[in-house]
Amino acid sequence: MKKYIKIILSAACLFAATGCDKGFRELNVNPNNTTSLDPVFLFSNAEVLTYAALMETEPTVVQQFIDPFGGVTSAFNFNVLNQTYTVMRWNNAYPNTIKLLEHILPDLKGNASRSNLYNETRIWRAYNYMMLVDTYGDVPYSQAGQAYLNSAFLPKYDKQQDIYADLVNELTAATAALDPAKDLVKGDVFFGGDIPQWKRLGYSLLLRIGMRYSKLDPGKAKTIVQAAVTGGVMQSNADNCYLKYNNTYPNLVTQQIQQLTNTYYLAEPFITQLKSTGDPRLKYISAMYADPGKALSLAPDTASANQFGLPIGYDSGTLPTAPGFRGVSGSGFKYSQVNYSVFGKITAPQFFVTYAQTQLLLAEAAFRGYIAGTASTYYNNGVKAAMDQFTSYDATAVISSDAQNAYLNNPAIAYSDANALKLINTQYWITSFGNGAETWANFRRSGYPVLAPNTYPGRQIKGNFVRRYTYPQTEAAINADNYRAAVASMGADDLDTPVFWDK
């Protein structure tokens, strides 16, 4: 009897198990959970997560901005290595923007109904990789962002020359493939999916990448630049590629410098350039405050005569020994700071690629004989566009045509072939303030403006300026074989090794 009871119980259990399993999986799936995600959300997130620089990094290298106080925040003022800042672009790009962009491409490749999203992704991917190469040299590229997709947990580093060559191909193909008759990418935060504007962005980026070759390979530079101009670059400030912010979603760069205003100042070479030439942008960029620590609650003094940049090569302790030391003011020093009512607002936009920059690059291209056109016309257009751009910071930041023309007629500013490269690239330095990645890159490429090296004692660089950032220490520890191969290929992993186009 017991034997039959066991058989019956076993059968009952088996029946119960199989019976209860019916619909069990469906029952335990949350119907509100997302099982798939439209790639446009990844794309818009990648746009928002892209950043050009913090103020304490590249803008300090090119002597526009200074934190004279000790600690991790002032490494570049002292020409010393601090991984807190050298790894920021790497740590922002690979786990965020690069990962997102790389995940979109295989999903959309060959999908004719989403071809514009696919190609806009390729263009923005090229922008991000260009910044990585310009910052570090050899970087993961062909295997980057592939950990989830292809289990490439330890990606190899591609040669920077090879990456640039592929970026030229990617920009050329992706921009040409954009089609206004196809999908509209409404989630695009730059242009709302406007295809003509994306085409002009793509070709303007191609122009920028072409000009990086100007010293390394003028022939290649000319070929790439001509292709970009033929395709059609930005035509006005309406084509500017930038992020807009508001009080709910603030600009994290300006928000960061607002937290300790008494520690941040504009550098003497930058202020001297603006002040000595009567630059009408000065009052929107720079201000003096009675107490730097209370700058956000005080009215800015924007009078040109009262602006003085903090000297290069000093820290907060040695600054009183600087010639012409201006003294202490409240919790800070009597030197110019960012104008927190305009340029330094938390709603200030972050520009990536602009019409003004594009016109200045065209001016240099025309001067070098790469393209037809008059260098002086491109130059004047670029300067005027850069001034008009300030209304994006604040609607009241208007610079009149008379003020613009008076500035351009200043003998120190007026275009001349004899000083073309100096004039054009000094304006590029001013125009790109706030986009430290591009300011630093063009400074290395062009050699302008001519700046005196910061010889602060204890500097860790052998040359005059920082030429690249070092790789994260985690790469040497975790991705050791690929890290060592990159160093063997490129040169020492230090602040002195130049990237391939930096001649």
Each domain of the chain, given as residue ranges in start order, spans 45-67+80-244+349-446, 252-338
Q: In the numeric block, which tokens belong to residue 208?
A: 């920028």
Per-residue pLDDT, 107? 93
Distance CA 414, CA 375 (A): 12
pTM, two decimals, is 0.92
95 Cβ neighbours under 8 A, 6+ residues apart: none
SS3 293: helix
Per-residue pLDDT, 15? 36
Per-residue pLDDT, 30? 56
- pLDDT, tens digit, for every residue of 181-226? 999 999 999 999 999 999 999 999 999 999 999 999 999 999 999 9
* Cis, peptide link before residue 449, omega less than 30° from 0: yes
Q: In the numeric block, which tokens belong to residue 93?
A: 């790009």
Report the CATH architecture of 45-67+80-244+349-446: Alpha Horseshoe (1.25)
- 193: alpha, beta or left, given left = phi > 0 and alpha = psi -120 to 50? left
- Given a cut of 50, the residues of the chain with pLDDT beneath it are 1-21, 24, 27
Contact yes or no for 127/50 (Cβ under 8 A):
yes
The closest of 318, 333, 369 to 214, measured between CA atoms, is 369
